[in-house]
Amino acid sequence: MHRRQFIGNAVTGIAVAGSVLVSSEGATSAEARPPLTFVLVHGAWHGGWCYRDVAAELRAKGHTVFTPTLTGLGERSHLNGQSITLETHIRDVCGVIEAEELSNVVLCGHSYGGMVTTGVARGISGKRHQEQ
């Protein structure tokens, strides 16, 4: 199995598991559930492109999907430098969420992207507490 196919299958599995969790919380059918908003964050040696097939499948089911490429990685590798840190990548994803005015997002991170999404979740929840 190729690495891209493996990653795609893993994310599809996570998305399906998320759908099962949503349905177990009271929705009676797929039509009764509102569409979800996914932010898929790639690992250290990828770019947002690695989620192309998964994103297409989720969009075909009516969901909204964002697949940002982190600064200094993937097609943005020309921006890499000593100043690029985990915090930079957390700001990248928070920036997408803020610029697109997203709420109630499903954050999904692969490998290093899991560290990024953890920081994003902390940052967003901290910001919400400050606003209240």
Whether 83 is catalytic is: no
**Among 21, 35, 105, 28, which Cα is nearest to 67's?**
105
- Active-site pick, 24, 103, 111, 125: 111
Instruction: Give the torsion through C-alpha atoms of 20, 26, 28, 33, to 10 deg.
Output: -70
**Lookup: tokens for 47:** 């770019």
By annotation, the residues acting in catalysis are 111
